[in-house]
Amino acid sequence: MAPTPPPRRRTRHHRALRSRVDLHASNRHHRRRPRADALRPRHRRPCRLDRTSRCATERHTTCRRRSRRGGVTVAKRKIAKRTGSKRVTQGSLLTNNERSRIKSIGEPIALLLGRIGFSPDALTLVGFGIVLVATAQVAIGNWAIAAGILIAGTLFDGLDGTLARATNRVTAFGAFFDSSLDRAAEAAIYAGIVYSASVLGDTQMATAAVLALGIGSLVSYVRARGEGLGVSAHGGIAQRAERAILLIVGLLAAGLSGETNYLLYALIIIVALSAVTVLQRILFIRAALATTGRRA
């Protein structure tokens, strides 16, 4: 009978190799039989369109999930890829980063006013009052002073929303109230320009101001109608902030130089860019409705 060979010594290398083999077998076992909770869909909320238990987030605009990249949804990125309208989804003349920086500047001021005792709705009313003061200055022809007041009013305009988000007092009525007074403030400014132009006998400036007000209101109307259809079209090349900046630059240039043509040129640019914004939003809403399977 042959002698039994001595047992082989397990070195450190063999033990490490055995542990790797065991780990590989364990991972293979888990890949074959995943846990029960891993089979559950991540998005369990019922779909608003199909009424199913799981939503096709890439296909439905009303049930889409938010993406981590720039706050742009999956559906919006697909629409932008199809239509080439990247600016509509990610911003306009002012990028999202620039808007965030402007909001971060006003956050300490909003918190300070909140400690004093101002509510978000009160800040909305104060901002509207500042715009009315600027309107009076525009009507009497003090355009440079009106531009300075409008700068303060524009910076003050976003403080109500910042305070509401910081103090967790965001309400649907607050958003509606802020949007309504924004439209009223814009109408008041252009009405002051029309009055000042009529006093000066400048029919071209009065006509441009009326067109700027009308097409600017159409920008907001298209957005509201899109939201009624389940599509949120916030973008465009000239949103309210861009139009306000152009108007302030025109008022300041006309007031400092004494030439009314600068304000006329600014109004013409506002009219043209507002018309482009309306077209951008219409095309965006049409593409969004096409992705949801609804008849555009």
Which tokens in the block code for residue 17?
A: 């190799």
Written as six digits, the tokens of 273 are 């860019």
Would you call 178 a catalytic residue per the annotation? no
Q: Length of the chain, please?
A: 296
Contacts of 252 (CB under 8 A, 6+ apart): 143, 144, 147, 148
Q: For residues 151 and 248, is the Cβ–Cβ distance under 8 A? A: yes
Taking only Cα atoms into account, the Rg of the chain, rounded to an integer number of angstroms, comes to 29
Per-position b or e across 97-125, b if 16+ CB within 10 A of its CB: eeeeeeeeebeeebeebbeeebbbbebbe
Enumerate the β-bridge partners of residue 95.
91
Alpha-carbon span 62 to 229, nearest angstrom: 9
b or e along 215-226 (b: 16 or more beta carbons within 10 Å of the residue's beta carbon)? bbeebbebbeeb
CA quadruple 123, 128, 131, 133: dihedral positive or negative? negative
Identified catalytic residue from 121, 160, 182, 202:
182
Which DSSP symbol is given to 91? B
- Between CA 7 and CA 16 the distance in angstroms is 19
Could you tell me where the DSSP H helices lie in 117-239?
A: 120-139, 143-157, 159-166, 172-200, 203-228
For the annotated catalytic residues, the residue numbers are 182
